[in-house]
Each structure stands twice: as C-alpha cells, then as structure tokens.
Amino acid sequence: MVTIDLSQTEITDANNRIRDCGRDGQDVEIINPDARHNIGVGLVDPITVNVQGSAGYFCGGLSDGAHYEIEHNAGWAVGDNIYSGSVVVGGNAGAIAGVAIRGAEIVVRGNMGSRAGQVMKAGTLCCGGNAAFMAGYMMYGGRIIILGNGAAKVGQDMSAGEIFVGGKIESLGNDTIIVDMEAGERDEIMEFLERYKMSYKGDFTKVVSAGKKLRYANSEPRSRPQPFFVSSNSSNYWNPKVQEDIWIKGEVGRYRIRGYGASKPVPHLNDIAFVKDVTSRQYKSEELQDVNLKTTVGGRYGAKPLSLSMPVMIAPMSFGALSRSVKIALARASRLSGISENTGEGGMLDEQREEADQLIFQCLSGRLGWNVKDMQRADAIEIYISQGAKPGLGGQLMAKKVTPELAAIRGIPQGIDLRSPSRHPDVLGADDLVIKVEEFREATMHKVPLGIKMGAGRVNDDIKIAYKDGFDFVELDGLQGSTGAASTEVLENVGIPTLSAVQEAIDGLQEIDAGDDMDLVMMGGIKDGVDVVKMLALGADCTSVGTSAIIAGGCIACMQCHVGTCPVGIATQDKEHEARYDIDLQSQNMHRYFESLRWQIASITKALGYDDVHKVSRDDLVALTPEAADITGLPLLSEHPVLNRPELGLEVLDRKAG
Amino acid sequence: MTMIKTEFSITAGPDLKDDTRDIHYVPAPCQVACPIGTDAPSYIAYVWEGKNEEALEAINATNPFSAICGRVCDAPCEPACRRADSDGAIAIRNLKRYVLETLGPGYALPPVAVTQEKTVGIVGAGPAGMTAAHDLAEAGYEVHLYEATDRLGGMMFWGIPRFRLPQAAVQQDIDRITGHCPGIKVHLNTALGDRVSLEELKQKHDVVLLSIGAFVGKPMGVPGESAPYVEDGVSFLYRVNAGEKPTLPETVLVIGGGDVAMDACRVAKRLPGVKNVKVIYRRDLDAMPARCEELQGAIDEGIEIVYNTQPVEVIDGNALRCVRTELGEPDEDGRRRPINVEGSEHDIECGMVIAAVGQKTECAELDAAGLMEWDRVKTNLEGMTTGDPRVFAAGDGAFGGSTIVEAMYQGHRAAYYMKAFLEGNNAPLSYRTPYRTRRVPICNDPDWEVNPRVHQQFHGLGQVPIEFPEVESTYSAAEARTEAARCFRCDAETGSADYTVGSRESIFAMARINPNDLDKQTSILEKRLENRDNPFTEEHVATLDDLVFLPANLSRLVIDPYREGCVTATKFGAIQSLKLDIPFTVTGLDDAPSEIRESVAKSIVAHGSAYIGATTLSEDAKWIQVVTTDVDPAADAIVVDAVQAIAAGQISRAQAGQPAGLLVNSGSVEAAVDFALAQSLDFLLLDPTNGLPGLAGELAGAPDISIVHRAVARLRELNREEEVDLVYFGGLRTGTDAAKILALGTIAVTVGASMALALGADISSGTTVFNANLDAAEREERSSNLLQAFTAEASMMARCTGKTNLQNLEPEDMRAITLIVSRAAGVPMAGSLHQH
C-alpha cells in the first residue's frame, strides 16, 4: 500500500504516481483528498485506490479495471465512463454519478444527484439512498438500482437498460413504462447488494424505455435531390424543389432529412481572389521543394503536437455514417500523405488506428465508442460541441445503419434510430468545460493535444471561451460542412458561412489579445489548394477536408447518405453495398487528391512570393463581391486603390468560368 | 482570360453544337468514353420517363446506326460507367436497343432537303462512309454513295452474323438514314476501279471520301496455310452472311482473339456437321481484345477457348501444330508479347481452320493513283486528307481495323473537314467530339441505389441453331425503366451550390491524375481558380434564405431539439386577444372547394390554430375575418384593410372585446402603425403580397420581407413595441421561414400557398387549382401534418439557438449572409457583425 498525501502533492503528480503503482500492482491510499477533482483519472491497471475523505469531480473517471473506494462523498460525475472496475462511495454522490459507464459497478451508499447514469451503456449503478431527478437520463443500457426514492422523470428518454426503484417514483420520464420484473432479476440484484454489503428487503418497480419517441410510423419517401439550389430568386420562388418539400411534409408530418451540407449559395472563398496571377508560371516539383508546408497543431500547452506535412487534416467523419472500408481507406490515405485522420463520433477501429499515423479521437455527447484505452492511443483528442452541418442537433444515424457491429463499438442497442444528445452530460457551460479539459489531460498524462470542434454560430464569443477554457486547437466548421444525415432545415439555416466564421474567430481572438498559440483549423467547403491558401491567408492555421476527400474516394454527391444504401459503398453499413467499395483503389485516389492539393498549395505559395505557406496573409487577397468584402474587411477589387487599373488585367484575378 | 487547358476545352469550329460551357453540366465518363460523344445520360433518363422518341433524338444526334449499335456496339461507355466498379455498369447499349425496338422499323425522321450546289462522292457504304454521308446530307449536300456490293452497311452487314445482328436491324437504320437524308444517292454494285474510277468521281463531285473498308483477311504466316481447309475469318463470315450455310467438318479451329474470331467461332458452332469449336489465342484472357460479353456468349454456347497457344504450322492431314506461349515484355500497344515455349509443340486435330488474325485493304485503283501505303489508304488523321487535296479518307481502309463506333467517329470527323473544304475554309479548327446534354431531370426511383444491373435474356444457340435466331432479347418496358433508374447521372448538377457538378468533377480529376503530370495539375488549378458568378448581384431579391440562425455552442446552452420541449402557445392580439396553441394560422382558402375547406378546418381545430379569410371555414375552427363588407359577430377576430380604415378614421367591431387588426400592405406600413396605436388596435397583419385573402400575390414570387423590419422600426421609434402585435403573411415555405419572421418581431404568421400545395394544389396557372386526387381523410391528415411539421421545424430552430419558447426568438438569434437582406431585415452580417 502506497500513501499519497494530496495536501502535499499536485493532482497530476499524484495521478502519475497512482499509475506507476498500478503498473507495479500496488494499491494506493489517498489521504487529505480535500475533494480534489480528477483523483485516479485514467487508470488502466487493476489496483484499488482508497480515498480517505471526499473526492471532487470525475473521481475514478476514464479508467478501466481499477477499484475505487471513497470513504465520504464524491462530486460530480463520479466514475465517468469507466469501462470495467468499480467505485464505491461511502457517502453521497453529486450529479451524473456513473455517467457514460460501459461496464463498471458503481455503488453510492448515500443519495445521488440528478441525471445519474446519463448515457450509460452497461454495468450497474446502485444507490442506497434517493436519486435526484432524471435518473437514467438517455441511458443506452445497463441497470440502475435505487433503493430509496426516484425523483422526477425517472428514465427520461432512455433508449434501453433497466431502472429498479425500491422506494417511490415521483414521476416517470418521457417515453418510459413500468413493467414486471423478469424471473431471476431480483436474485441478481440481491446478489449484487450482498456483494457490496447492502441490505434491502423491499420490492422494486422496474422502469424501461417505452420505445415510442423518435420512432415514426411512416418513413420519408426516398427521392433524389433536385438541382434547385437557387431558390432566392423571384421567378422560381415556388420551384419544384419547394413544392416537393411541402408535399412530403404533408405526407410525413415532420422535417425532411438528407446528407451533405447547406445546398444554397452562400458567400464563400471563391468570392475572394489572390492579388497576383498565381498560374503565370508552372513550377516543377523540384522548384517547390523549398516551399515549407509543414504544419503543427496542438502544441499550446506542451503536448506532442500533430505534425502534418501540409496544413490539411481529414475531417471527423464517423464509422457509422461511413462504412468500415471507407474509414480504413481514409486512414491509409492520411498516412500516405502525411496528414491526420479523425474518428468522428463512432469510436476507434483497430484497422483505422493501424493504418493512420496520426489519429484524432473525437468525444461526443453520447460518449459512443468513447473509452480511456483509445484515448491513450490517440494522437489528439477533440471534444465535439457541434458541427457546421447541424449545430444544435446531435449526431443522427438511421436505424438501418445501426448494425450489430456498429452497436457493439458504440455500446448501444442495435437497430435503434440513433439521435445523439445535443449536449454533453458534464458540459453545461464554460466552467464545466474547463474541468472536463483537465480530466482529459489527466487521462492522457498531458501528452496529447486537446481540441474542440464547433459549428459556427456566435463565433466571436465562442472562440474566446474556447481559448480561455484551455484548448490547444479549435476545429471550426462553417454552414457548408457536411454530414451523413440531418434535418434539411438545420443544414440550410443554422450556422454562419465558413468565410464569416474564420473572420469572427480571428477578430474574437484579437479582441482578447490571444496571440496565436491556439491553433485554428477551419473546415466547411474546403475543396482544393486554392481554398486552403485563402483560408490560411485569412488567418487560419490549418484546414480540414471531409466531403472533398470522400468525393475523391468515389462519392457521387447524390446526397442520399442517410438512406443507408449508398450505391458506391461509402455511406452504408450494408455488407452488400460496402462490398462495392475498393479500399486499395480509393485510398490511392484519395492519396492522389491530397498530393494534387499539396502541389496546388505549394505552387500558389511560391507564386505569391513566399517560401512558407504560413507566411501568406490578408495582403495577398482581394474581395470580388460586396458580401465578401463586408464579411472579411478585404478591399473590393472594383474599388481597390492599387489593383483597380485596367492595364493590370483584372480579369486575370477575377476569372470566371465560361 | 487565360486559356483553359483542360480536356473540356473547345477547339472545334463554332458550328459544332456543344454544351461544355454550361457550368451546370460536365460530360459524364460514359459520354467521354464514347468516340462520338453519345449523350447517354440523357437518353437513359428519357427511357425512365418513357419518352422514347426524345431518347432516339439523343441517340441519333451522334449515332445514325442506333439499332445496330444497340446490339453490337463494343460499348466503351459501359466499362467507363462509374457504377461499373460498384454493382455493374448501366446497360447503356441494351437501353439503346430497347428504344429502337420499341419505336420499331417504321419510325422515321423528317427529311432534310438538299440546299447546296456542290456534291460529294463517297466510296464504301460502311459505318464511316455512311456516317459522313449522313452528316453532309444533313448539311444540305447531295451525296453519292458508291458501294461495291449489293448492300449498304459494309462490315455491319457482311461481317456480323445474323444471330447477333439481324438483317432487319441493319435495314431499320439504313431506311431511317435514307428517309431522313433524301440527298444521299446510292449506287450499288459499283466497285472503285471496276465500275467507277477515281478520276470520274473527282470530275463528278467537288470532294471525294474513300471509306473502302478492310475486307481482305490477313494470313497467319505459317507453313501450310494455303491448304483448302484453311479460310480467313472475314471471307467465312461474308459467305455465310450472303446466305450460305455450308456443312463443315466435326472440329473447327478458329485462330485469333478479336471480335471476328468470336463471330466466326459462334457461326461455325451453328453450322451443320460441326461438333467442336475451339478458339486458339496466343495471349491470356486479360489481353483478349474481344468484348467480354461476346467471349462469354461463345463460352456459354459450348466453345472452348485455348489460351496462350499459337499456331506454327498447318499439318497436312487435318491438324494444326501449335506451341504454348508465355507472356513477355509489353510491346508497342502495351500488351505483353507472347513468347513461344521451347519444346511445347503439340498438334490439335481439326477438320477446318478459320484464321481471324486481322484484315487489310487492297485496291489496285488507289495503288495506281499512289494513294496507298502498305495495306491502307495513306491518310493524315488531323485533316482526314490523302495525297490528293480533293480526296479524303476514313474508316478501316484508312486507319486499320476498328469498331463500328470508332468508324462512325472517323465518318463525323471526315465530314467536318470535308464540309470546311467545301466551304472554302482551308484551315479549320481541329475537330473534337462535341458533348451535348438535353438537361433531362434525374429520374426519381426510390430503388435506384439498390437495384443491380438487369441482365438481358440470353438464348444462346436457340432451338434451331442453323436458323441463326437472335442470341439475346432486349428489355421489357419495366426492366428498361428499372435499369435506367440506376444511372448515377454524372453529367447532371448535384443539388448543392457548394459541391456542384463542376467542383465534384475537378476533385475527381485531382484524384485520378499522376501527381507529377504538371500540365494536368496546372489545367486543374486553372479551373479551380475560376470564380463563380456572384450569386448575390444587384438583381438578387432579399428573401428569408439569406438569414441564418445562430446555434448555441459555448456562450449559450443548446436545447435538445429531439427531446426537449419548446413552448408554442400564442397570444394573438396585444390588448384583446385570441389564444392559439401555435403561432401558425392558415389563409387563402375562401374560394377553395368545400371538401378542402372542411379538411383544413378539422386540422385547424386539432392544432389550436385559426383561419384568416373573408368567410369562416367551420363553426369549430377559429376564424379571423378579413372584413370585406360587414363585420361578422361570429368572428373570433377581425382584420380590416388599413387604407380603408384610415380613410374611415375608425374601425367598428361587431362586439366589444373582439380582437381587431389592420391588413397592411407595403405602401402603408408607417401610417398603419400610427393608426393602430391611436385606435388601440390589437394587431397588424403585414401582407407584402398585397393579395390577402387571395393567394395570387403570394404565388407571384418572393415577397418583400422588409415590411416586418419597417413596422418594428416604426414601433421602436415610438418606443411602443409592446402595444400592438405584428402578424405576417407571404411566401412562407417552411417552419424555418416562419421562425425567421417570428424572430424579426412578429407573434404569429399565416400560411397560404404552402397549405394549398400540401393538399395537392396545382399552382402552375398562378392560382391554386385543387384536384380530386386525395380523399377526405388524406386531406385532413395532410393539412394536419403540414401544421405539425411547420411547428416542429420552427421549434427546432428555437431550440438550436437555445430558446425554449418560440415567442422568445429575436433578431439577435440571426445573422444575414447578404447585404440586401441585412438591410431588409435589419440583421447584422455574419462575419463582420455590421448592421446595414
């Protein structure tokens, strides 16, 4: 037994020592815990940690196999996301005890706070006293045993799992029902209680999901998109696409769903030009050798940054929205081109980890596929707040795509129409987020860069919070960002364009004198090297491409990703359809696309007169439209004091198709 | 403008119709793979629509031999099809056959008159010659076709067996061409050098085309091949197509791996006396030039293919001595050269050898004129010219063996240069296959992603092989439609203004070029540097599309739109008020049929909504009367035209406590606000369409949404925003549109055209016309569904911005993405936060 005195030791040092003890198989006792946060976070060895006092937030969180005994009380989110192992709290626990657990046993001998067991997937959460409101909120599996009373909305919006309440239930949550207990269930509960030396003689009320909400009797008729994205025009205001939308809503009584991003025209990077003709000379590959494109992301607080061969990442896209084959091909292409791949929401695949040299692991509100072991083998971690395609909505995966394999990696029941929660259980504001950031840093020994992914809204405000909450990088996604399924209303109407987003981000950071230590990664409609260089000139540090990479790898842009029967095997979990995808061929295609992107970035940089892409600036750009000029503050070409001379050949800068 | 050097650039003359400058169109891979640029996506889409005549127009525009190609084209489009890698290429060829068979042999095209004085002489009526004849006749020239045999069609008639290409199909195309082009004068049995000389042709015609084909089989070049039981493939097919059905020995060997070999072996298999047919080919399966469908047909008919084997001697006594081969280094055409394996000699017994190892051209007349080089007419591909400035050449006789569609390409090409010559243009722009689109909408079949390729029924030898019945049949109408639905439509616009067909194809191109091919990289970069036309020009109308909601992220807490509630209850009227469950009311059904009105009335009751109109919908449904004559005491609220009310100086209610408002058009906003405040009215119904209670104004186009901002600005100026409610009508297509109008400062909206459309109204005449296509229950469900969907959409927007009550939406929840809408709505620009 090793003793650690938290009054003498910083929590990071303490956790490092606990980890060392774990490796050595030595149990640990913590004295003077003083309700510190993050005690024992990120432990992956089967030792016992005895906390002699009370613990703060996230005690025992993000661990796998360890046992925690907390003599007195525990703060918010005790046992967060534990994979296996146990936590026993001698006193009371705060809100969201056992949040997102995937197989552990959590015992709170006293009372527990609200939303206990939120989005839990498996395991047992047991409370000797009363549970505050919304116990089992949005749980996906496992069981909650409450020996005392359950306050309001027990099991609110649960998808699966069971809640057993010994005392009174103040009210049932949405979409729940009371059912009879099955044979043997009581014996199993009694066996559990006995193991933890809890005595109980009374009966239980069993609460389960009624399974009615978010399930529709009639499905949206499938149809291919009509090319009517120019709706803002008087003559075709009630165009056939508008009429089709209304007709279908009359049939199904709800909003429509599709894949891809905003389809309407919005101000974008192609409303901006370079101030020089960047193709007046063709550079040979050797001439571009000395143009630096190398980009590091995430070094703000000393973690090992991502080291990219150019200012490009692959955007987060989930295994789920995309087939396994596509995730493997993307990972391979990222390695071949020296850039990073991102897991998106669906958890990390072993093949994906093996193929990718640099892999970002994304943490979403539903904590689907989230676990400490994959965190510790990731090259960066990204907390998803929202995305450009559907900010405000959680991930959406139609039942057809929730196969047994997918359900297993995400830890959810198969065949449910999955709609991830809109908010993280443990991030209700900027202050929570600061502590969440610390928990993640503890779980990854402060070695892994930590980013935040946001769909662009009030960017000017949000970016300041992201900066002050201590992120290493921000991945900021404009209105044009794509998805595998979302309400068309949100796709088209929620969020600001990527061009507006980068400007607000730069302005916001300048307003607080943030300097440039937090890396800004821009995404949403980045298609080529032209877009990348323009984005960097506007102030971004890096870019991220999703849709374009998928198109390079065979996507035909039919925008029917949500249907689940992708004709080219990309946005599908159907094995027959997935078999249509050739991993070797398409990973090479994507690799060639990235190499073409690289050549474009280098050529433009060189043509603009620089030896480093990170030296491009706003001085290299000019706006072509009044909107682009207003949004970015760049001079308008037609009013440009220096450029606006006919003999300079303005048409070279303002190239028009046709 | 710098010249764009992509493969899409135009170098052909201005008279070639081409659509490649249309930014909403990129030629599909199938179209690019077709030597003559057939607009396959369009004809496939027409097949789905059941428009076979339009499909034929698309096919025939580049391909006069449509019926023939529908059966025997080597169809390079199909391997190029993007669906080929997924679950099988679209059956582009068979869909063509389907169109031609469906329209039948009687289907004629209107005749084209001869309008030019000059005439053209063409020698040889095969695909190259006849295509050129067709093009020149279409251009108004009289064209004289000189054909050595007694038939038109060349190799298409003489070289392809009837079980693959029935005579009727050849005749169908020839009849259509000659009917369409009466300027084509046919001279059969008129061989060059025999019945007519080159000099005569040059005297009679202003220009001459030599498309004499390659009808002489090449020898194998092995000892003993002069034996009587050795025959070349072309001669063999020729005599069978002339009507002979000779009895052959039991075992027949066919040498070669091309299409002639495949046809010859399959013919032999059907002839009397034959039991075994073997094809001897010197390379492996992958290198075989024959179309895989033809090879499969041969195999399915019981023909044995012997690979990696090469004849070395014809042995007297009915055997062929062969050696085995191995594949060595690639030769000039990229295929690996077969190398004989030492000591592998073996004899294959046979009664007959058919050598299908290539064809050549022989013409003593042209030899004498010095126009031949080896076994071809010496021809310059660039201008299709020969050694004689007035003589052009095309087809197999000029460039060696090719497919029908390649020969047609040469015919088009020759016609282009000959026409330039006839017009006195000595230096025409280089010919390039034109790419056109008919802009046919994408077919909307729900199973387009799922359905595998529909296979044609294969009959093989048939019941009586000697009669050469057709080996396969085309689709039924239903099969054709299913197959046509599978087309990806690589040519068509995507439905995304961001990932347009043009940008998608550029990305595709980036992913498929050699990174070190700098010319291609540069040409793509040039294309990517093109800026689109500004979508927001001065003609751009301010609509709700240019407003966006700001999602809650870190600075606000998002409300889960899937699970958490949003209050929609609405107090309609600032002083006297009507209580509604949702801020949506319905209007525009005063003149609708009673069945429609009854259905909507029920859904209005069910949703706690109200109807705004001159007449009431039902006793139960809340009614806001648009007063036209007398105020109805039964109305739950009344609304009076603002101009009339102001003129009258007051409005009169039927009863005290009846909420009352003004119907306000764009011209009277400020005056109406002032009057309403002075009279303590309850609401202003803002109608920029000037049409209420009718819908014609709404259907006319985008409404002027600035009316809301103007009313709010006036109220704000007076600092009396809470004293009268604003309600809006006009152009609301979604719940999101409504949410934006609510956020601008209104408390409720009314929907007109959207409700009519949900009930199946036809609006093409500019008014709503209802049909009897729905029953009462369906109508009620649909109108109810629309209110439900719109309410859900509006509350989804509210929750995304972090609001739990629709009435709490405010301008600050939005940003403008265009300057015009920023001004019209008084909402700051996203990005700059400038208020315009």
Residue among B486, B552, B554 minimizing CB distance to A466: B554
Task: Supply the CATH number for residue A428's domain.
Answer: 3.20.20.70
Q: What are phi and psi of B305, to 5 degrees?
A: -110, 125
Q: Does B99 touch chain A (CB under 8 A)?
A: no
pLDDT in tens, B662-705: 999 999 999 999 999 999 999 999 999 999 999 999 999 999 99
pLDDT in tens, A458-484: 999 999 999 999 999 999 999 999 999
Strand partners, B729: B750
Task: Supply the CATH number for residue A94's domain.
Answer: 2.160.20.60
User: Coil, strand, or helix at residue B228?
Assistant: coil
Q: What are phi and psi of A280, to 5 degrees?
A: -65, -20
pLDDT in tens, B263-302: 999 999 999 999 999 999 999 999 999 988 899 999 999 9
- What confidence score (pLDDT) does residue A233 get? 45
The number of folded domains in chain A is: 2
Give me B381's structure tokens: 């591909």
Residue among B549, B554, B734 minimizing CB distance to A462: B554
- What confidence score (pLDDT) does residue A649 get? 62
The reply to whether A412 and A485 lie within a common domain is yes
Amino acid at residue number B783: S
CB–CB of A494 and B496 under 8 A?
A: no
Rounded Cα distance between B793 and B787, Å, is 10
Q: Does A610 touch chain B (CB under 8 A)?
A: no
Q: Is the pLDDT of residue B10 over 70?
A: no
Comparing C-alpha atoms, which of A124, A94, A122 is closest to residue A107? A124
Residue among B493, B757, B799 minimizing CB distance to A392: B799
Identify from B81, B516, B553 which residue to disrupt to test chain A contact, counting A C-beta atoms within 10 A and taking the largest count: B553
Range of weakest confidence among A92-101, A105-114, A395-404, B802-811:
A395-404
Q: Which of residues 311-330 of A touch B (CB under 8 A)?
A: none
Q: Does B594 touch chain A (CB under 8 A)?
A: no
- Give contacts of A556 with chain B, Cβ < 8 Å: 82, 488, 490, 504
A·B CB contacts under 8 A = 414
Q: Does B427 touch chain A (CB under 8 A)?
A: no
CB–CB of B497 and A391 under 8 A?
A: no
Q: Does B774 touch chain A (CB under 8 A)?
A: no
Give me B60's structure tokens: 């025939």
Match domain B216-359 to its CATH number in 3.40.462.10, 3.50.50.60, 3.20.20.70, 1.10.10.10: 3.50.50.60
- A153 sits in the region (left: phi over 0; alpha: psi -120 to 50; else beta) called left
CB–CB of B2 and A279 under 8 A?
A: yes
Length of chain A: 658
> How much is the average pLDDT of A343-357?
95
Distance (Å) from the alpha carbon of B599 to chain A's nearest alpha carbon = 13
> pLDDT grade, residue A228 (50/70/90)?
low
CB–CB of B535 and A582 under 8 A?
A: no
Q: Which of residues 403-442 of A touch B (CB under 8 A)?
A: 419, 421-423, 428-430, 433
The reply to whether A356 and A294 lie within a common domain is yes
CB–CB of B494 and A626 under 8 A?
A: no
Distance (Å) from the alpha carbon of A564 to chain B's nearest alpha carbon = 9
- Give contacts of B763 with chain A, Cβ < 8 Å: 238, 243
Q: Is the pLDDT of residue B357 over 70?
A: yes
Q: Is the pLDDT of residue B8 over 50?
A: no
The reply to whether A194 and A324 lie within a common domain is no
Q: ∠ CA(A7), CA(A12), CA(A18), 5° rounding?
A: 85
Q: Which residue does chain B place closest to A454, by CA atoms?
A: B553
Rounded Cα distance between B266 and B260, Å, is 10
- What confidence score (pLDDT) does residue A646 get? 66
Assess contact for B377 and B397: CB atoms under 8 A.
yes
Q: Is the pLDDT of residue A615 over 70?
A: yes
Residue among A247, A457, A528 minimizing CB distance to B757: A247
> How much is the average pLDDT of B773-796?
96
> How much is the average pLDDT of A514-541?
97
Comparing C-alpha atoms, which of A381, A383, A362 is closest to residue A466? A383
Q: Does A655 touch chain B (CB under 8 A)?
A: yes
Q: Which of residues 813-832 of B touch A (CB under 8 A)?
A: 815, 817-819, 829-832
> 């195999």: which residue's tokens?
B299
- What confidence score (pLDDT) does residue A647 get? 66
Assess contact for B612 and B600: CB atoms under 8 A.
no
- Give contacts of B734 with chain A, Cβ < 8 Å: 245, 489
> pLDDT grade, residue A658 (50/70/90)?
very low
Mean pLDDT of chain A: 94
The reply to whether A401 and A292 lie within a common domain is yes
Distance (Å) from the alpha carbon of B660 to chain A's nearest alpha carbon = 31
- What confidence score (pLDDT) does residue B18 get? 85
- What confidence score (pLDDT) does residue A392 get? 87
CB–CB of B561 and A285 under 8 A?
A: no
* B40-49 vs B52-60: helix crossing angle, rounded to 10: 170
Comparing C-alpha atoms, which of A533, A609, A602, A536 is closest to residue A289? A602
Assess contact for A63 and A103: CB atoms under 8 A.
no
- What confidence score (pLDDT) does residue B256 get? 96
Assess contact for A95 and A113: CB atoms under 8 A.
yes
Amino acid at residue number A512: I
Residue A325 lies in a domain: yes
- What confidence score (pLDDT) does residue B5 get? 27
Helix or strand (DSSP H, E) at A312: strand A312-314
Give me A281's structure tokens: 């000379």
Residue A231 lies in a domain: no
The reply to whether A287 and A185 lie within a common domain is no
Torsion of Cα atoms, A227 then A229 then A234 then A237, to 10°: 70
Rounded Cα distance between B813 and B267, Å, is 77
Q: Is the pLDDT of residue B9 over 60?
A: no
Q: What is the CATH number of domain B548-825?
A: 3.20.20.70
Q: Does A197 touch chain B (CB under 8 A)?
A: no
- A121 sits in the region (left: phi over 0; alpha: psi -120 to 50; else beta) called alpha
Residue among A419, A496, A593 minimizing CB distance to B815: A496
CB–CB of A589 and B511 under 8 A?
A: yes
Q: Is the pLDDT of residue B171 over 50?
A: yes
CB–CB of B82 and A419 under 8 A?
A: no
- Please tell me if the domain spanning B216-359 has the same topology as the one spanning B548-825: no
Q: What are phi and psi of B277, to 5 degrees?
A: -125, 130
Helices (H), B77-193: 77-80, 92-103, 127-138, 155-158, 167-180
* Per-domain residue ranges of chain B: 216-359, 548-825
Strand partners, B280: B255, B306
pLDDT in tens, B186-197: 999 999 999 999
Q: Which residue does chain A place closest to B779, by CA atoms?
A: A250
The reply to whether A180 and A269 lie within a common domain is no
CB–CB of A651 and B830 under 8 A?
A: no
Give me A396's structure tokens: 């959406």
> 């299913």: which residue's tokens?
B482
Q: Is the pLDDT of residue B629 over 60?
A: yes
Helices (H), B205-355: 233-241, 259-270, 292-300
Q: ∠ CA(B443), CA(B432), CA(B376), 5° rounding?
A: 120
Q: Which residues of B627-673 form beta strands (DSSP E)?
A: 637-641, 660-664
pTM, rounded to two decimals = 0.92
The reply to whether A199 and A319 lie within a common domain is no
CB–CB of A558 and B551 under 8 A?
A: no
Q: Which of residues 392-411 of B touch A (CB under 8 A)?
A: none
Q: What are phi and psi of B649, to 5 degrees?
A: 85, -5
The reply to whether A185 and A324 lie within a common domain is no
More confident residue, A151 or A212: A151
Residue A229 lies in a domain: no
CB atoms within 10 A of CB A614: 15
Q: Which of residues 40-79 of A touch B (CB under 8 A)?
A: none
Range of weakest confidence among A123-132, A282-291, B243-252:
A282-291
List of residues 6+ apart from B678 with CB closer than 8 A? none
Q: Which of residues 487-516 of B touch A (CB under 8 A)?
A: 488, 490, 492-499, 501-504, 506-508, 510-516
Give me B367's structure tokens: 């030899």
CB–CB of B531 and A656 under 8 A?
A: yes
Residue A227 lies in a domain: no
Rounded Cα distance between B367 and B390, Å, is 17
> How much is the average pLDDT of B773-799?
96
Q: Does A582 touch chain B (CB under 8 A)?
A: yes
Distance (Å) from the alpha carbon of B544 to chain A's nearest alpha carbon = 8
Identify from A232, A309, A498, A535 which residue to disrupt to test chain B contact, counting B C-beta atoms within 10 A and taking the largest count: A232
The reply to whether A179 and A88 lie within a common domain is yes
pLDDT in tens, B439-457: 888 888 889 999 999 999 9
The reply to whether A201 and A263 lie within a common domain is no
Assess contact for A320 and A345: CB atoms under 8 A.
yes
Q: Does A249 touch chain B (CB under 8 A)?
A: yes
CB–CB of B549 and A238 under 8 A?
A: no
Q: Reply yes or no: is the peptide bond before residue B693 cis, omega within 30 of 0.
A: yes
Which residue range(s) make up the domain with A281? 259-623
Residue among A252, A260, A489 minimizing CB distance to B735: A489
Residue among A237, A495, A556 minimizing CB distance to B702: A237
